[in-house]
């Protein structure tokens, strides 16, 4: 399934308010139109240039007359002859941007979890606490070693 990266605070971006003002639509509608245009570009472009796709076509995809001009007013769209170009397209679209976004999301979840399941790395299913002090880790290791020695049937 294809997807595009959208910031959760996009509706509060001053450029969205400018687009809404120029196009004569509410900001929430402008966000929806941007998603439609960016989705179209993601589907039909690899570099942000949509060939043989003019301002009228952008307006048609957005469903709002003058939307291409509104995007151009904030430098989110450039019309280059018969083509439209989305500046910084590869920052937010394309496979490399999606890979970066997924990696960042995984890292954030990993950092936020505090305790890691070592089975994904070691295959042993044990829990690893990464935020413990060196003294606490030594103490836990000593406890594990004592438990291992006790389970070997020795001691007499």
Per the domain annotation, does 84 fall within a domain?
Answer: yes
pTM recorded for the entire structure:
0.62
DSSP state letter for 48: S
Confidence of residue 132 (pLDDT cuts 50, 70, 90): low
Q: Residue 17 and residue 10: Cα distance in Å, rounded?
A: 10
Confidence of residue 106 (pLDDT cuts 50, 70, 90): confident
Q: How far apart are the first and last CA of the chain?
A: 63
Confidence of residue 156 (pLDDT cuts 50, 70, 90): very low
CATH of the domain at 53: 1.10.10
Domain total of the chain: 1
User: Could you tell me which of 80, 14, 7 has the C-alpha nearest to residue 38?
Assistant: 7
Q: Residue 91 and residue 47: Cα distance in Å, rounded?
A: 10
pLDDT tens digits, residue range 107-126?
A: 878 888 875 555 555 555 55
Q: Residue 47 and residue 34: Cα distance in Å, rounded?
A: 17
User: What percentage of the chain reaches a pLDDT higher than 90?
Assistant: 48
Per the domain annotation, does 131 fall within a domain?
Answer: no
User: Could you tell me which of 104, 75, 106 has the C-alpha nearest to residue 88?
Assistant: 75
Tell me if 51 sits within 8 A of 83, measured CB to CB.
yes
Tell me if 59 sits within 8 A of 35, measured CB to CB.
no
pLDDT tens digits, residue range 47-103?
A: 899 999 999 999 999 999 999 999 999 999 999 989 999 998 887 675 654 565 566
- Provide the residue range defining the domain that includes 34: 10-92
Q: State the pLDDT at residue 88.
A: 87
Q: Residue 101 and residue 90: Cα distance in Å, rounded?
A: 12
């Amino acid at each position: 399934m294809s997807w595009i990266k959208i910031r959760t605070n996009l509706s509060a971006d001053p450029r969205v308010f400018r687009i809404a003002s120029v196009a004569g639509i509410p900001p929430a509608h402008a966000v929806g139109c941007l998603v439609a245009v960016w989705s179209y570009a993601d589907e039909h472009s690899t570099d942000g240039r949509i060939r043989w796709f003019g301002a009228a076509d952008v307006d048609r995809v957005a469903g709002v007359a003058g939307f291409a001009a509104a995007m151009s007013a904030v430098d989110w769209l450039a019309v280059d002859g018969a083509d439209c170009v989305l500046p910084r397209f590869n920052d937010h679209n394309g496979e490399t941007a999606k890979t970066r976004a997924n990696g960042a999301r995984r890292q954030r979840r990993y950092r936020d979890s505090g305790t890691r399941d070592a089975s994904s790395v070691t295959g042993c299913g044990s829990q690893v606490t990464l935020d413990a002090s060196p003294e606490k880790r030594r103490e836990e290791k000593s406890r594990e070693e004592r438990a291992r020695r006790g389970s070997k049937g020795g001691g007499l």
